[in-house]
Amino acid sequence: MASLPIMSVQNVIIKAEEKGVAIKNNRMRDRWGAGELREQYASTNDGKTFTLRHWGTEILKLNLRTLKILDYYGEGNSDRDAVQTALDYFGIKGDVHYYPSRDEFIIK
């Protein structure tokens, strides 16, 4: 069974395919408890380009016609998992890795 964040990513991908835009809101936790309600995951899909955002930062941009990665960014395991989920969903080969000791986020 997929974990809850991965299901959230899959759901925004599917909803964006249907409606063009999808947003999953949540509260970012801090040391004082729950924060304000914010955009946790969001995606857009216009049939040509797909974008995925996590906490407001664009972490993946794909060309849907060529199935090529146009841009990616990440700084943690949650970004790694979200990008990997999107690549798997669209059938794009690539293994996403995050190496905190080297501050490196790559797709092989």
Q: CA-to-CA distance for 73 and 3, rounded, in angstroms?
A: 22
**Claim: this prediction has a pTM higher than 0.75:** yes
Low-confidence ranges of the chain (pLDDT < 50): 1
Q: How far apart are the first and last CA of the chain?
A: 25
Q: Are 16 and 24 in contact (CB under 8 A)?
A: no
Q: CA-to-CA distance for 8 and 85, rounded, in angstroms?
A: 10
Residue 29 has a CB neighbour count (10 Å cut-off) of 9
Q: In the chain, what are the domain boundaries? A: 4-30+38-107
Torsion of CA 24, 66, 104, 13, to 10 degrees: 10
Residue 59 has a CB neighbour count (10 Å cut-off) of 23
Q: Could you read off the pLDDT of 33-58 as tens digits, one per residue?
A: 667 778 899 999 999 999 999 999 99
